[in-house]
A and B are shown apart, each in its own frame.
Chain A
């Protein structure tokens, strides 16, 4: 209990002091996870919508793959990205290992199946008669897909929220491919691991509370967006 109170007090002090090192970590965390989420959303929502709407012969297999992807252990993703980006790997020429780019790549791999898989499920749950109705009202193919996505928006936002939760809280992948380098690739989760290892429990707790607060605020913002568009 003492550590928890201490951690809370520490967190408040750190935030109020606007500690530059902490701000850098927070900003990098938001930049890496935000970019990964944006890429996953831009690619995952259309892919999920297409899978949910199209008559794909291999849909069962694709669904199984996506659902498996939703449960990918971040450390395994990190290892895979590490091997791809290491100097001897096929993408080593990019020179991304131990940079934020590598961290974004790993988090995209984690977030993409969540966004696309849950979007697919949300789209499939929309009344199939809706497509016929909007087509009958003169919708083009694009307008028809947009109408379905709008109807599925609660599920689509839930997919994005789930993906955000998945990437902002993961540590295994970013630790492996980012290296937790101070001032370069240190994010909130890797800083918590480091502080715990070095016995700085109150600081680790403070960072944990900040991480939770960030996740909470981001989710509130997304849910407000969902609520604004949800007439009921």
Chain B
């Protein structure tokens, strides 16, 4: 968990007059789980889209693996990063084909990897089932399996367990934790759930109105935050 995988400096994303991301400095370290918490509209998901190169910043610097990216990122860089969104968007196909999708895009071998990944997320018995007929928790596990099977360098999770039952929340958290530990995958997790951030993350950051208020290791963030807004947020007070 040493070197830096993302370096962000004066990064701004605006839609017209509305600034949704305005971050002076942020470093994401290789192999860490970084959780970003904050209220709705704080710019967390917008930041994830920038980190996944799905959108270009309005201004500022976004460096990945030491390489400053201007304009659209090259395909080989894009293919090292993937996102699991809050609402799983699955292809109109069966579970197996959904999980295999990213492998097929890259022209990689499918069989063994997909089978292993399905058993890892507890869906081996549903591989032939239509993906659209699964429960919400199962669909999100398919989305997670589809992301992990390509063995990304960076996994971005955008509220991956919102609206899920405790069983699926626990299962997904354990899969992410295990993958991070075994593969050294860097994880950036966006969540409203401070308890989830505490359970999963090595470091936690608070975002408010597009800005990063504070980033600290998990214990410091929760037990002795330096910014009063962080302390208020952790206490459960309304913070905007």
Contact with B along A152-195 (1 / 0, CB 8 A): 00000000000000000000000000000000000000000000
Q: How far is the CA of A150 from the CA of B93 in the complex (A)?
A: 10
Given contacts A133-B89, A135-B54, contact A143 B105 (CB under 8 A): yes
Please give, as numbers and ranges, the residues of chain B lying within 8 Å of A127 by CB-CB distance: 89
Q: How far is the CA of A232 from the CA of B128 in the complex (A)?
A: 11
CB distance from A136 to the nearest CB of B (A): 4
B79 at the A interface (CB under 8 A): yes
Q: How many residue pairs bridge A and B at CB < 8 Å?
A: 58
Please give, as numbers and ranges, the residues of chain A lying within 8 Å of B93 by CB-CB distance: 231
A: contact size bracket: 10 to 19
A132 at the B interface (CB under 8 A): yes
Given contacts A136-B83, A137-B102, A143-B105, contact A231 B94 (CB under 8 A): yes
A130 at the B interface (CB under 8 A): yes
Which of chain A's residues has its CB closest to B146's CB?
Answer: A137
Please give, as numbers and ranges, the residues of chain B lying within 8 Å of A138 by CB-CB distance: 75, 78-79, 82, 102, 105-106, 150
Contact with A along B43-84 (1 / 0, CB 8 A): 000000100101000000000000000000001001101110
Given contacts A136-B54, A137-B105, A138-B105, contact A232 B78 (CB under 8 A): no
A129 at the B interface (CB under 8 A): yes
B: contact size bracket: 20 to 34
| Residue contact A147 to B87, C-beta cutoff 8 Å | no
| Residue contact A231 to B92, C-beta cutoff 8 Å | yes
CB distance from A225 to the nearest CB of B (A): 15
| Residue contact B101 to A137, C-beta cutoff 8 Å | yes
CB distance from A125 to the nearest CB of B (A): 12
Please give, as numbers and ranges, the residues of chain A lying within 8 Å of B89 by CB-CB distance: 127, 129-130, 132-133
B130 at the A interface (CB under 8 A): yes
Q: How far is the CA of A65 from the CA of B54 in the complex (A)?
A: 33
| Residue contact B91 to A230, C-beta cutoff 8 Å | no
Which of chain A's residues has its CB closest to B55's CB?
Answer: A132
Please give, as numbers and ranges, the residues of chain A lying within 8 Å of B79 by CB-CB distance: 138
| Residue contact A151 to B92, C-beta cutoff 8 Å | yes
14 pairs, A vs B, C-beta closer than 8 Å: A129-B89, A130-B91, A132-B85, A133-B89, A136-B52, A137-B102, A137-B105, A137-B147, A138-B75, A138-B106, A140-B75, A147-B91, A151-B92, A232-B132
Q: Known pairs A136-B83, A151-B92, A231-B130. 5 more at Cβ < 8 A?
A: A132-B49, A132-B85, A133-B83, A133-B89, A138-B82
| A-B pairs with lowest CB-CB distance, top 8 | A138-B79, A133-B89, A137-B102, A136-B83, A129-B89, A231-B130, A130-B89, A136-B82
User: Which residues in B have some Cβ–Cβ distance to A below 8 Å?
Assistant: 49, 52, 54, 75, 78-79, 81-83, 85, 87, 89, 91-94, 101-102, 105-106, 130-133, 146-147, 150, 156
